Amino acid sequence: MKKLIQIAAFALINAAAVQAAPQTVTLDVPGMTCAACPFTVKKAISKVDGVSKVDVSYERRQAVVTFDDARASAQKLTQATENAGYPSTVKR
Ligand SMILES: [Cu+2]
């Protein structure tokens, strides 16, 4: 019986891990107009709960963001950049 409970608990933990999958999205951030802008954008995105990685390219006017989709969403990311003064859209 104890073994069965252990298996059930293991399955539950795995299910939770599957639900909280890391996602990577690319955001177009056209409003970046100088080399300092990416720092502001990166800071704003990094503050969103669940974000684990942010790479902002000024040259490409893009932000590549990895986040836990159980805590963050693409919509929360674009909202964060917009609040910082840089409206963005998800690149498809
Ligand atoms: Cu700037």
Of the listed ranges 11-15, 49-53, 87-91, the least confidently predicted one is: 11-15
Cα distance between residue 9 and residue 15, in whole Å: 10
Whole-number average pLDDT of the chain: 89
Distance 50 CA to ligand 1 centre (A): 26
Residue 88 in this model has a pLDDT that exceeds 70 = yes
Cα distance between residue 8 and residue 14, in whole Å: 10
Q: pLDDT for 74-85, tens place per residue?
A: 999 999 999 999
Pick the CATH number of 21-90 from 2.40.40.20, 3.30.70.100, 3.40.50.2300, 3.20.20.150: 3.30.70.100
Residue 5 in this model has a pLDDT that exceeds 70 = no
Domain ranges of the chain: 21-90
Distance 43 CA to ligand 1 centre (A): 13
Distance 19 CA to ligand 1 centre (A): 37
The pLDDT value given to residue 33: 97
